Amino acid sequence: MVKKSKGVIGILTGGGDVPGLNPAIRAVTIRAKREGYDVIGLKRGWAGLIEIDRTKGADNSHCYVHLDDNIVNKIGRTGGTFLHSSRTRASHVPKAVVPIHLQDTYKEEVNDLTAEVLKNLEWLGIDFLIPIGGDDTLSYAVRLYKEGVKVVALPKTMDNDVPGTDYCIGFSTCITRTINMTNLLRTSAGSHERFLVVEVFGRYAGFTAMLPTMAGAANRCVIPEHKFNIEHLTQLLSEDRKRDTSNYSVVLVSEGAMFDGGDMVFADAEMDMFGHKKLGGIGDIVGKGLKELSPKFNNGKRINVINQKLGYLVRSGDPDAVDSIVPMAYGNLALDLIMKGIHGRLVVLKNGRYDNVPIEVVTSTTKKINIDKFYNTERLRPFYKSFEMLPQFIMTSEI
């Protein structure tokens, strides 16, 4: 007797790496194999699907791998993504990045390779696709769903800003590390009686600054949703410093935070395929401004600053408990939907319960901090009001 496969499931990870991706891949693979499906891991996000060469005998080992329990059990407890990742947008591929075997066909400065993606999915025999990513990666998943691909998506991003869900894979580990590392830096800030400026992730949404501040890691935070006045911030931090027995104070700065009348601070002018410039440097600029303005609020004496950009430290290494459990649940929920013949969905956590919503929510709305409800614009810190009946991570409003 020959046991035939129920179908082939493709899984990929796109965008930035976060702890929790490998547990999600493991959960999907183990459950899928147990239920009678084959699983193909697509490498480097959407890049793996545009670089496949369908010519007979071509080596495509850099594009995909067949997964089984032995492979995923070795990586299920580790951070990052063993399938690798990229910021590839298959509908907007620059001419210089078009795979060599397709360069005679796609010659525009920017090319839509969706037709190749669809052919490659068919060539691989993939019946269902599970992309794991943030709003950029999943926005292209929406495109594929509209093209007829059976998609069930999992939300991932440290910023926790994918619409439709209270929780994205990677967020808990990020804020856990932010709290821990900021507390470690306090010893130096206190020893030298300085301002401590910690730059954290958060391009458009300030969840990664707000939650650690609410948990006591910082006195103040500045976030993308509200432009701030540097002199006002200096005054507040100076007052915090005076009240502190060790004579220091702390501010968390989202990488996408903006000064009054200003814009985001970019590391350079180069854009990725999703039109995003690399952010970087706002923490250093804030630190410089605090130092220059500090004499005004410190009897004419300058207050020195410790600047620290946490960067990849909060996204590398092993996942914490939440980012081990939630990806496991998300992966199994995706299989539940596939086995029921349901697709075009995003697996989510809403109000403490696992659920799923239409995948189109990714492109139809945004998820940011509700300023009026959660952020005190005068005090540059979260409101501490009644938390009754709020979700676990409190600030999940979509606007």
Active site residues: 159
CB 294 within 8 A of CB 195: yes
* Measured distance CA(304)–CA(290) in Å, rounded: 8
Handedness of CA 30, 59, 83, 96 (dihedral sign): negative
CB 51 within 8 A of CB 63: yes
Separation in Å, CA 340 to CA 28, 39, 191, 336, 356: 15, 18, 60, 6, 13
Residue whose pair of structure tokens reads 């060599």 in the numeric block: 100
Strands 220-222 and 249-254: parallel
